[in-house]
Amino acid sequence: MKTKIVILFFLIICALLACKKQGIEESVNYSSIPVLPEIPYVYPKAVTNELATLGRVLFYDKNMSLNNSISCSSCHQQAKAFCDNQKFSTGLEDAKTQRNAPSIFAKSGRMFWDGRAVGISNAVLRPIKNHVEMKFEDLDKLAAKLSKIVYYPALFNSAFGSLDIDSLKIQQALLSFIENFTFSNNKFLQSLTNEHILNASEFNGKILFFGKAKCSNCHHISGTLGSNGYGSTNESFNIGLDLAYADNGVGSITNNANENGNFMVPTLLNVEYTAPFMHDGRFKTLDEVVEHYNSGVKNNSNLDPLLRNTTLVGNMTEAQLLQQFDVNHDGIITNNEISSIPTQQLNLTVSEKKNLVDFLKTLTDPSILSDKRFSDPFKH
């Protein structure tokens, strides 16, 4: 008898807990309704403007998180160039993300600091399921929740011609919205056709960026701003931030020890607004970033050869080279030997460092902060 009561009690508790869980997932926050323009804004890269408009609402809707407290825009805020100026971001129940939130761009190729997803379409649903970020693991339940929210059926209907909601449609809409995050109308691009637009400091910075400071070797900015867009590339590098990394980055995804401490090359577009910098937000200012490359590179065994004092190697005869290092068939020094080459010292003067920072600020498109097509439709 006693055990029966205990079992019954246990079952009731389980049922209550299950209800509670269900309740959280299904409860909806109606406190605010999006206000949208009568004629949709124009999104040049979207399949239709209606699809991108739906994406905009989803991006800003806190109902997309398990407890209605977080939206994509909590960490990717327009007023902060679609990041949040925090070292680490705050997700559900005050949990912190493990990396710095990057500004979002319409880029292709490997996404996230460790390159774990390819393309925006494979990246947009991950934050929804992520335990720290939005914690909505079951996307079918999310679709069911959205279909009960007054404004969604009509929005899905104008985007897809049907009232049905599913995770694929949510993904397509978010993708369609984010694909329009281009924000590249900047002074640097204008300088390609009109050099006089740059002042003397910015101009010197440009010469340094593409020359002595070697920045453009990894940050491929050009007329098209890099093959996969917007100053980031599909490559990852170890830039010697630490002798021993707390976060192995790309190496933790590829399980290749030679890539421990490698991180994907971030875009430099609008970098003026996206502090703090690096995957862990360790640098508060661009001056600190430039000082890192100038004098602070650490001799990590995976450090990219470009950030070593290769002029030492360049000045050696082939015989001296072979005597000192193991060189493979392509003439590249193999990893173990390479760590005996000291790290680069750019020996930039105070004004050269300022020139580089001034040049980085020519990559700013101020419209990122205010373009109404990307603004919060719930704020009115």
Residues lying near ligand HEC in the complex (CB under 6 A): 70, 72, 74-76, 89, 91, 97, 99, 101-102, 104, 111-114, 120, 123-124, 127-128, 133-134, 174, 213-215, 217-219, 237, 239, 241, 263, 265-266, 268, 271, 274, 277-279, 286, 289-290, 293, 304, 306-307, 356
Q: Which lies closer to ligand HEC via its Cβ, residue 161 or residue 341? A: 341
Nearest to 227 by CA among 238, 219, 237, 215: 219
Token output for 272: 């003026």
Angle, vertex CA 150, rays to CA 38 and CA 146, nearest 5:
110
CB atoms within 10 A of CB 255: 9
Q: Of 288 and 371, which CB lies nearer to ligand HEC in the complex structure?
A: 288
CB of 159 to ligand HEC, least distance (A): 16
**Minimal distance, residue 108 CB to ligand HEC, in Å:** 10
Amino acid in the structure at residue 176 = S
* Minimum CB distance to ligand HEC, residue 373 (Å): 16
Residue 380: which residues within 8 A CB-CB, separation 6 or more?
35
Are 21 and 13 within 8 A, CB to CB?
Answer: no
Q: Which is nearer to ligand HEC, 277 or 325 (CB)?
A: 277
The first and second tokens of residue 373, run together, are 């097509």
Residue 380 and residue 378: Cα distance in Å, rounded?
A: 6
What's the min distance (Å) between Cβ of 262 and ligand HEC?
A: 7
Burial of 18 (0-12, 13-18, 19+ CB in 10 A): exposed
Q: How far is the CB of 3 from ligand HEC (least distance, A)?
A: 45
Nearest distance, CB of residue 283 and ligand HEC, angstroms = 7
**Residues 176-190, buried b or exposed e (16+ Cβ, 10 A)?**
bbbbbbbbbebbbbe
For ligand HEC, which is the closer residue by CB, 50 or 352? 352
Q: Are 353 and 201 in contact (CB under 8 A)?
A: no
Please tell me whether the peptide bond between 34 and the residue prior to it is cis, using omega within 30 degrees of 0. Answer: no
Residue 281: CB minimum distance to ligand HEC, A:
8
Q: Tell me how far, at minimum, the Cβ of 317 lies from ligand HEC, in Å.
A: 26
The CB-of-263 to ligand HEC minimum distance in angstroms stands at: 4
Is the CB of residue 259 less than 8 Å from the CB of residue 251?
Answer: yes
Choose between 40 and 127: whose C-beta lies nearer to ligand HEC.
127
Q: How far is CA 327 from CA 228, 257, 323, 333, in A?
A: 32, 20, 10, 4
Q: Which is nearer to ligand HEC, 74 or 204 (CB)?
A: 74
Residue closer to ligand HEC, measured from CB, 56 or 279: 279
User: Based on CB atoms, which residue is closest to ligand HEC, 12 or 174?
Assistant: 174
Nearest-CA neighbor of 83 among 232, 209, 229, 269? 269
Which residue number, 199 or 322, has a Cβ lying nearer to ligand HEC? Answer: 199
Give the number of residues written for the chain: 380
